[in-house]
Every structure is written in structure tokens, then in C-alpha cells.
């Protein structure tokens, strides 16, 4: 009987969702969160932090492959997720973040830098686990089409939909996305409200008991301040694909320099330093030889009558 009731109620619920009261499609998001193999503990902690901030997420085990990322689509379908949030670690140090709308794209690949987990940041802010954040976007997200796509993806993945299963009421934190220097900076703040200027309250009505005070507080705005919670990280968009983990590339960031390139450049610079030094050493030797200052090799100076060897022989 129970199963029959369940199925019946489910179907009815489904119909309700199909046609909401105001005729607008409901915002339903579920995010599959997972990482590749080879992530470090900091990457893992960051992933956990983000998962704890997103009650509409489903965390899965590490993905074995790094080349066949299209498998993620099947995984997402398996878990009923329409968003994929995937950490790809390379060389045990570089972290790439893939964000995708699961069945048919688009997909964004970004390079993650300056990441700090909640634990290591020691911020005093805290918020309810699963409360819905306010998302604050920089206006420059609307300036270009690829940024608009990015913004939409952030909205789907970091915005907790209303009525998510583990979501809690009340709004007590805000996620800020800012575009600076071609990178996206992400911060997470707690909204702390303090009663506005108690001193003025007391001075205005010193004789009255707190009953009146409470009344006035209701009408009055409380003062808002922010306390950072963490984590922090910076994203550099690299590539946008049309499909989900596949399809043609519709945006590529030319300014992005891969960390491998940076490292090799540094190494080359160092190597160049040694080469220059070695070369200059050889040059110096040749110069000294030319002047006849070396004991062996090079030009020998013609004997002079005024040489010390000749004079004091």
C-alpha cells in the first residue's frame, strides 16, 4: 500500500512541478562534485568546504581517468545531476576546475590559483550549513559573452535553489564573484547583523523599559557588516566548450599561460644564467691569453730588456 501511495503522490508532485502556479520553469539544480586522482590534501579540503557550502550537491568518489572526461556525463545522469563540478589535478600541484551543464553543455575549464581552505584561513566567520547564499557579481561579468556564460554557470552551481532538500531557511552568507586582472576572485562572507547604534536608542528613551526598544528595533534597520568565512580562490578561465566535456571550443583565453610554461621559463632563465656565466668565463680566459697573461697557452709576450726577469736575473 505504501508503495502505491508513494508512486501516486510522486506523480502528483511531478505534475505540480511541471506546471507551476505562475507558469515559470522552476529552478532545479543539482551539482555533482568530484575530483580526479592525484589531488593534494589542500585540494581535497577545498572540495569538502565547497561541498559543505552547497547543499544541493552530490559528492562522488574520485574519477579514475583524466582523458575520458565524457564519462562524467553518464555519472551525472546516474546521480540525477544537471551540473558537474570537477577538480582535475595535474602533476600533483596544478588544479584545473571544470564546470559543466551535464547533458549538453557548455563546459568551462578554469585554472585555479591562490586557493586557501577554510581551515587554514582561520577566519572567524561562520554560517549555517546549507543556508542559501546571496550571489554578488561584478558588473563586468555582463561585458562579454563568455563572461556571461561564466556568470550563468556560477549562478547554477553556487546558487542554492529554493527548496533544495538540505537547504536551511534564513540568509546568513554571501558569495562574491569579482573580475579583476582577467581572473575571477571568489570570496565567501558571513552577514553579521548588529543592532544599530544602541547609544542613540538609550539617549532618546532612557526611562522606557526594553519593551518599547524592541518595537523600535523592528522598524529600524540593523547594521550589517561582513565577516569572511573562507575558502578563497582565484579562477582563470581557459576554454569554453559547446558540449558537456566535448564539442567544439567556442572560447579560448589567449592570455592564459599554463603553469608548465611558467615553470619551464623559470628553469630556462636559470639555465641561461649559468650559460652566460660559463661563456663569460671562457671569454675572460681568451682575453687574458691574448694579452699574454696566462702561463700556458695563448700568446707569449716578446722578451723585453726591461722585464723584471731580465733585470734581476
Q: Does 178 bind another protein (CB under 8 A)?
A: yes
**Position among 181, 199, 207, 312 found at the interface with another protein (CB under 8 A):** 181
The interface region with another protein, picked from 9-17, 34-42, 57-65, 168-176 by CB under 8 A, is 168-176
Stated length of the chain: 313
258-297 residues in contact with another protein (CB under 8 A) are none
The reply on whether position 159 binds another protein by CB under 8 A is yes
For the segment 3-32, give every residue that binds another protein (CB under 8 A). Answer: 22, 24-25, 27
d(CA 176, CA 186): 6
Give dist(CA 87, CA 99) in Å, integer. Answer: 9
Q: To the nearest whole angstrom, how small is the minimum distance from the Cβ of residue 139 to another protein? A: 4
51 binds another protein (CB under 8 A): no
Count of residues near another protein by CB under 8 A: 77
- Span 230-259, contacts to another protein by CB under 8 A: 240, 242, 248-252, 254-255
- Distance from the first to the final alpha carbon of the chain: 125
User: Cβ 125 to another protein, closest distance in Å?
Assistant: 8
C-alpha cell at 162: 529554493
User: Which residue is associated with the grid cell 559543466?
Assistant: 100
- Asked if residue 218 binds another protein (CB under 8 A), the reply is no
Comparing C-alpha atoms, which of 192, 255, 202, 190 is closest to residue 229?
190
Part of the chain binding another protein (CB under 8 A), chosen from 5-13, 136-144, 271-279, 286-294? 136-144
Under rule CB under 8 A, residue 143 binds another protein = yes
Q: Which three cell numbers stand for residue 228?
A: 569572511
Question: Based on CB atoms, which residue is closest to another protein, 124 or 296?
Answer: 124
147 bridge partner residues:
none
DSSP 227-295: EE---EEEEEEEEEESSSS-S-EEEE-TT---HHHHHHHHHHHHHHHHHHHHHHHHHHHHHHHHTT--S
Using rule CB under 8 A, residue 104 touches another protein: yes
Smallest distance from the beta carbon of 150 to another protein, in angstroms? 10
Using CB under 8 A as the binding rule, whether residue 145 contacts another protein is answered as yes
Judged by beta carbon, residue 89 or residue 186, the one nearer another protein is: 186
What is the Cα–Cα distance from 33 to 180, expressed in whole angstroms?
26
Amino acid at each position: 500500500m505504501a508503495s502505491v501511495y508513494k508512486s501516486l503522490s510522486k506523480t502528483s508532485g511531478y505534475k505540480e512541478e511541471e506546471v507551476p502556479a505562475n507558469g515559470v520553469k522552476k529552478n532545479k539544480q543539482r551539482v555533482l562534485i568530484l575530483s580526479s586522482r592525484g589531488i593534494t590534501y589542500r585540494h581535497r579540503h577545498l572540495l569538502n568546504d565547497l561541498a559543505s557550502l552547497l547543499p544541493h550537491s552530490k559528492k562522488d568518489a574520485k574519477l579514475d581517468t583524466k582523458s575520458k572526461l565524457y564519462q562524467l556525463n553518464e555519472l551525472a545522469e546516474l546521480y540525477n545531476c544537471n551540473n558537474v563540478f570537477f577538480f582535475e589535478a595535474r602533476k600533483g600541484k596544478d588544479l584545473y576546475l571544470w564546470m559543466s551543464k551535464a547533458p549538453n553543455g557548455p563546459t568551462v575549464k578554469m585554472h585555479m590559483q591562490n586557493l586557501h581552505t577554510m581551515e587554514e584561513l582561520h577566519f572567524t566567520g561562520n554560517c549555517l550549513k546549507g543556508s542559501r547564499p546571496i550571489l554578488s557579481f561584478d558588473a563586468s561579468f555582463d561585458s562579454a559573452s563568455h563572461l556571461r556564460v561564466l556568470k550563468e554557470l556560477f549562478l547554477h552551481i553556487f546558487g542554492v535553489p529554493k527548496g533544495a532538500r538540505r537547504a536551511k531557511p534564513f540568509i546568513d552568507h554571501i558569495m562574491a564573484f569579482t573580475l579583476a586582472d582577467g581572473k575571477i576572485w571568489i570570496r565567501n562572507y558571513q552577514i553579521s547583523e548588529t543592532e544599530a547604534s544602541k547609544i542613540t536608542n538609550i539617549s532618546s528613551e532612557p526611562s522606557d523599559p526594553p519593551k518599547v526598544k524592541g518595537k523600535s528595533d523592528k522598524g529600524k534597520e540593523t547594521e550589517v557588516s561582513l565577516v569572511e568565512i573562507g575558502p578563497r580562490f582565484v579562477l582563470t578561465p581557459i576554454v569554453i566548450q559547446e558540449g558537456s566535456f566535448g564539442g567544439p571550443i567556442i572560447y579560448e583565453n589567449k592570455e592564459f599561460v599554463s603553469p608548465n610554461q611558467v615553470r619551464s621559463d623559470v628553469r630556462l632563465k636559470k639555465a641561461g644564467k649559468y650559460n652566460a656565466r660559463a661563456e663569460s668565463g671562457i671569454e675572460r680566459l681568451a682575453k687574458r691569453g691574448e694579452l699574454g697573461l696566462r702561463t700556458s697557452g695563448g700568446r707569449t709576450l716578446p722578451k723585453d730588456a726591461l722585464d723584471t726577469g731580465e733585470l734581476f736575473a
